[in-house]
């Protein structure tokens, strides 16, 4: 087993609950083992900190799994998955939810999402990759799924020295699955859809539209397959327009609208920024606008560029809002911190020439709980604003 001895005082953050050991925090490494194997972490004065799996190729050299002498074996992973799932069931989740949310469920770099009788999984680190077969066997034992599909087609794996990959790991997985969410039927595609197939982290935020949309003209930007649009229609919006650049996503919006018997949703394939310019030219205004764009900031060195993108988008939306309308603006970029997000909103309002009230602030769904010691796990920011 490897033993990592930290530099002086580098253990403070870890003792506060942060699960990552960075390579530049390590004073020395002794012992030996395979990459991805379990390593012991100790302070400069040799106090025990915890055990985690090691990867010399990553800037995060160790991801901690436990801070005591618990054996890290098959039962360890099985019990962690059981505990994670029980927490979600106690919160009322049943049909479609995040079973395991990585570090927040004390299984770093593992994502397990349940979609009806199927599981969609991500193995985001070497430590989890080398345990893939064991974890799949545990998931089969616990959930008896009809199929398990891997969606490890994400760039973060490359930082671990791993190739992106996707495909069926167990059973059979259809091209389309119909899940139940917020009393709606939603057709999703876990093979080609966003993330692991769908944006589960916005579930409660979508349903929260019931407070704002009745009898209103609603614009859903970056609609993906229509989660917000469907809830707006369910809660008796007068008119709903869904915008997305993906023709495939727009086709699925129409399919989901028909599946639920909604006829007031108009889905338009377009560039959202360009469409806002068209609306402004035509002086078309809305009562409720939802902005749920993809992450404009993928890394720390893209903060300034991404900040401008968010700001431009919010300015355009604010200029297309009726008085006393509601703007529901989101960011899933972890690098756009909460202070930066709020600053962006203030600057957008100033440049749009409107007064804005923050009615409510929300974050990701309860099955995506945040580990307070790990700021990165609080990534989704949702501000509900009233344009005065």
Count the Cβ atoms, other than its own, within 10 Å of residue 88: 22
pLDDT in tens, 315-332: 999 999 999 999 999 999
Q: How many CB atoms lie within 10 A of CB 339?
A: 8
Distance separating alpha carbons of residues 207 and 232, to the nearest angstrom:
8
How far is 197 from 211, CA to CA, in rounded Å?
27
Count of CB atoms situated within 10 Å of the CB of 236: 12
**List of domains in the chain:** 2-66 (2.30.130.10), 74-171 (3.30.750.80), 199-387 (3.40.50.150)
Give the pLDDT score at 80: 98
Question: How far apart (Å, rounded) are the C-alpha atoms in residues 119 and 170?
Answer: 10
- Residue 152, judged by CB atoms within 10 A of its CB (0-12, 13-18, 19+), counts as buried
What is the enclosing helix (H) or strand (E) of 198?
Answer: none
Q: Tell me if residue 221 is catalytic.
A: no
d(CA 217, CA 219): 7
- Determine the Cα–Cα distance for residues 361 and 328; give it in Å rounded to an integer: 10
Whole-angstrom distance, CA of residue 370 vs CA of residue 35: 28
What is the per-residue pLDDT for 361? 98
Structure confidence at residue 386 (pLDDT): 98
| Cα 262 to Cα 230: distance, rounded to the nearest angstrom | 8
Secondary structure element (H or E) that encloses residue 132, with its range: helix 132-143
Catalytic residue, from 187, 221, 320, 332: name it.
Answer: 332
Q: How far apart are CA 79 and CA 72, in angstroms?
A: 11
Q: Could you tell me if 317 and 329 are in contact, meaning their C-beta atoms sit under 8 angstroms apart?
A: yes
CA 245 to chain CA centroid, Å, is: 20
* C-alpha torsion sign, points 190, 332, 306, 124: negative
Mean pLDDT per 10-residue section of the chain, whose length is 388 residues: 97 96 97 96 97 97 96 97 98 96 97 98 98 98 98 95 97 97 97 94 97 98 98 98 97 98 97 97 97 91 93 97 97 94 98 97 96 92 96
Look-up of token digits 């100033």: 350
At residue 376, the pLDDT reads 87
pTM for the full model?
0.94
Residues 222 and 242 sit within 8 Å (Cβ to Cβ): no
Q: Which residue has the tokens 């560039």?
A: 271
How many Cα neighbours within 13 Å face the side chain of 99? Answer: 26
């Amino acid at each position: 087993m490897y033993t990592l001895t930290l530099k002086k005082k580098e253990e403070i953050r870890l003792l506060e609950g942060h699960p990552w050991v960075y390579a530049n925090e390590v004073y020395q490494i002794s012992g030996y083992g395979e990459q991805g194997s379990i390593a012991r972490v100790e302070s400069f004065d040799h106090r025990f900190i915890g055990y985690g799996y090691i990867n010399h190729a990553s800037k995060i050299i160790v991801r901690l799994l436990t801070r005591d002498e618990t054996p890290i074996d098959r039962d360890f992973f099985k019990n962690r998955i059981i505990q994670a799932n029980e927490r979600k069931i106690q919160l009322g989740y049943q049909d479609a939810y995040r079973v395991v949310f990585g570090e927040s469920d004390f299984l770093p770099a593992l994502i397990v999402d349940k979609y009806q009788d199927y599981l969609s999984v991500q193995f985001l680190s070497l430590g989890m990759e080398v345990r893939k077969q064991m974890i799949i066997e545990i998931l089969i034992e616990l959930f008896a799924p009809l199929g398990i599909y891997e969606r490890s087609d994400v760039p973060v794996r490359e930082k671990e020295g791993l190739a992106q990959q996707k495909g069926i790991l167990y059973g059979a997985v259809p091209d389309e699955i119909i899940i139940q969410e917020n009393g709606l039927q939603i057709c999703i595609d876990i093979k080609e859809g966003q993330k692991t197939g769908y944006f589960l982290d916005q579930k409660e935020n979508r349903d929260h539209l019931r407070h704002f949309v009745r009898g209103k003209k609603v614009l859903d930007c970056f609609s993906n397959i229509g989660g917000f649009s469907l809830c707006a229609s369910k809660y008796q919006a007068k008119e709903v327009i869904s915008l997305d650049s993906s023709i495939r996503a727009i086709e699925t919006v129409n399919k989901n609208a028909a599946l639920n018997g909604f006829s007031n949703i108009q889905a338009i394939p377009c560039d959202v920024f360009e469409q806002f310019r068209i609306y402004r030219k035509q002086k078309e205004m809305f009562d409720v606008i939802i902005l749920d764009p993809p992450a404009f900031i993928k890394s720390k060195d893209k903060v300034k560029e991404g900040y401008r993108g968010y700001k431009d988008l919010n300015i355009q939306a604010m200029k297309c809002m009726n008085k006393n309308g509601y703007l529901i603006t989101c960011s899933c970029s972890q690098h756009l911190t909460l202070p930066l997000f709020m600053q962006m909103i203030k600057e957008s309002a100033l440049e749009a020439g409107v007064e804005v009230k923050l009615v409510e602030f929300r974050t990701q769904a309860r099955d995506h709980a945040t580990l307070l010691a790990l700021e990165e796990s609080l990534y989704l920011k949702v501000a509900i604003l009233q344009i005065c």
